[in-house]
Structure 1
Amino acid sequence: MDWKTFQALLSGVNKYSTAFGRIWLSVVFVFRVMVYVVAAERVWGDEQKDFDCNTKQPGCPNVCYDHFFPISHIRLWALQLIFISCPSFMVVMHVAYRDDRERKHKAKFGDNSKLYNNTGKKHGGLWWTYLISLFVKTGIEIAFLYILHRIYDSFYLPRLVKCEEAPCPNQVDCYIGHPTEKKVFTYFMVGASALCIVLNLCEILYLISKRIVQVAKKIKRRNRNVALQHDDYANDNFNNFNMTLPKRVLEDKPPSFNSVCKPLSRLEVLGMDPKIRASAPNLSLS
């Protein structure tokens, strides 16, 4: 396996990751890939040659080795590293899809037109892709830990195993090569895998809590704008109402009764003009 190519592919995910994602990537490379390449492969090597049984019966050592080691540790860890890296490539592919859409959009509407402010920013569909990739990585880690625990009985490697499988003539004692060293590396790789699970869970909680805070701020800002618009509308109606009222209604003191109801003279009551009344003859003298 070309681990340099593997590292180059995963390095592209680093710039789209959060702080927890960068720590996860460092743990994968330093504590898992480097340990796997430098030490683990040499410790295991061709472990079937180091599996010795106290019989010369043809086929018995092979059958016993297959019974106790159905999947080699080193090959299982290689599969695990490949599988946990595949969800990260989903994020890279989604960003590449966004870049392609952005390029087509600029080619159609001009360079000044933008479809995305930042194609690598985790919002919209990319946020969901990133979150799903974290869930998938966590599930893969847990699944491989369960497989290793199920096959090797709590990650324990004994020095001596007893085999009764055919074609062994009777109960055969078989010895594992470098059992203590293999046990130490097994616990180390299991601990690194558990640390990666914790980092994935922390990143999931971080992304969800951050999104909840953003949504809460957005709702609060929207409610504040609605309240300000409502206050402005109420103030405008109040001012318009004051402008339409007559001036005497806006005064502090009510108008007096005499200013409203002036005393009327007799002529005003009768509706007659005093000039016309003066020109009439005096009939009482006649």
Structure 2
Amino acid sequence: MSWGFLRDLLSGVNKYSIGIGRIWVAVVFIFRLLVYIVAAENIWKYEHDEFECNIKQPGCENVCFDHFFPVSHISLWALQLIMVSTPSLLVVFHVAYREKREKHHNQKLYKSPGEIDGGLLCTYLISLILKMGLEIVFLVLFYKLYNGFKVPRLVKCDIRPCPNTVDCFISKPTEKMIFLYFLVATSCLCIVLNLSELSYLIFKYSIKCYLKRYIKKCQGSESDCHKSGIIGHNRPAAAGRFHNSLASSPSIQ
């Protein structure tokens, strides 16, 4: 399987991410994608052929394997990698839309098309929420499909066409369990990184909006005080002119 498109996607997202987002990209690329390609894919490559039962009843091994492994660990891991990386396309598409809009109007509409603000900030936050949600969904899916995060050495199967309860043996259970724990650990780390980035961005732009409102309020108060000062300064002058006009008018006999 070629993973070039996923590599290009992650490198493209890296340009528009903040510090925590770049750490997430590094974790996905090094500790998940490379581990999958270099090691994990080979461990599960012949899992069906190496699954053995102590009976040679035709169809028994196939039925038992399908029962205990409805979806291969490695296939589900590959699907997870693709799905959790896909929301990042939202950010890439939004930046491309900004760049196209600037070319269409032939003028500078944004400080930088890749700067996280305004609508791009909302898109970025949505992508983070989707990535966290997908990570959690796949962790729950792993747990439900395989009754936990363990790979047993021996499973007992009594599904037809097996004539009775047979013992079936899983190949490399310890090695598979180590990689399964590694998968769970990296997924949890990615969730923590996404949550940290989401909290940081919300906090940062909440403070930014608060400061903007505070500055506008202060400027409005200073403007009102300035106007009040001008009015107060003009009132004594007007009173003085009125008093002088009374003094200069002829007395009424």
The answer to whether TM tops 0.5 is yes
Task: Read off the aligned partner of 1:59 and give its amino acid letter.
Answer: G
Unpaired segments ≥5 residues, structure 1: 107-112, 250-259, 261-270, 272-286
In the TM superposition, what is the alpha-carbon distance from 1:91 to its structure 2 partner? 0.5
2:16 corresponding residue in structure 1: 16
Q: 2:110 aligns with which of 98, 116, 119?
A: 116
2:102 corresponding residue in structure 1: 102
What is the CA deviation profile of residues 64-98 of structure 1, one whole-angstrom value per residue up to 9, with x for unaligned ones? Answer: 00000000010001000000111001100011011
Task: Read off the aligned partner of 2:52 and give its amino acid letter.
Answer: D
Query: Is the counterpart of residue 157 in structure 1 residue 151 in structure 2?
Result: yes
In the TM superposition, what is the alpha-carbon distance from 1:247 to its structure 2 partner? 8.1
2:78 corresponding residue in structure 1: 78
**Counterparts in 2 of 1:32-111, with a 5 A limit?**
32-106=32-106
Aligned equivalents of 2:2 and 2:48: distance in 1?
24
Task: Read off the aligned partner of 2:158 and give its amino acid letter.
Answer: E
Conservation of the 8 A alpha-carbon contact between 1:10 and 1:85: yes
Query: Is the counterpart of residue 196 in structure 1 residue 190 in structure 2?
Result: yes
1:167 corresponding residue in structure 2: 161
Matched residue of 1:174: which SS? Answer: strand
Conservation of the 8 A alpha-carbon contact between 1:10 and 1:89: no
What is the CA deviation profile of residues 14-35 of structure 1, one whole-angstrom value per residue up to 9, with x for unaligned ones? Answer: 1111111111111101110111
Matched residue of 2:155: which SS? Answer: strand
In the TM superposition, what is the alpha-carbon distance from 1:245 to its structure 2 partner? 3.0
Aligned equivalents of 1:146 and 1:198: distance in 2?
16
Greater C-alpha Rg:
1
Q: 2:170 aligns with which of 172, 176, 189?
A: 176
After TM superposition, the structure 1 stretch with the greater mean CA deviation from structure 2, 84-93 or 236-245, is 236-245
1:207 corresponding residue in structure 2: 201
In the TM superposition, what is the alpha-carbon distance from 1:45 to its structure 2 partner? 1.0
Query: Is the counterpart of residue 229 in structure 1 residue 233 in structure 2?
Result: no
Aligned length: 246
Aligned equivalents of 2:170 and 2:47: distance in 1?
8
Query: Is the counterpart of residue 238 in structure 1 residue 225 in structure 2?
Result: no
**Alignment TM-score, normalising by the size of structure 1:** 0.83
Query: Is the counterpart of residue 147 in structure 1 residue 149 in structure 2?
Result: no
Identity, % of aligned positions: 51
Task: Read off the aligned partner of 1:60 and give its amino acid letter.
Answer: C
Matched residue of 1:129: which SS? Answer: helix
Summarize the Cα distance change of 1:164–1:215 in structure 2 as closer, same or farther, 3 Å threshold: same
Conservation of the 8 A alpha-carbon contact between 1:149 and 1:155: yes
Query: Which runs of at least 4 in structure 1 moved beyond 2 Å after TM superposition?
Result: 242-249
What is the CA deviation profile of residues 141-161 of structure 1, one whole-angstrom value per residue up to 9, with x for unaligned ones? Answer: 000000000011111111000
After TM superposition, the structure 1 stretch with the greater mean CA deviation from structure 2, 203-212 or 171-180, is 203-212
Aligned equivalents of 1:93 and 1:65: distance in 2?
42
1:26 corresponding residue in structure 2: 26
**Alignment TM-score, normalising by the size of structure 2:** 0.94
Aligned equivalents of 2:238 and 2:179: distance in 1?
89
CA RMSD in angstroms comes to 1.7
In the TM superposition, what is the alpha-carbon distance from 1:248 to its structure 2 partner? 11
Unpaired segments ≥5 residues, structure 2: 248-252
Conservation of the 8 A alpha-carbon contact between 2:154 and 2:169: yes
Aligned equivalents of 1:185 and 1:244: distance in 2?
88
Conservation of the 8 A alpha-carbon contact between 1:87 and 1:137: yes
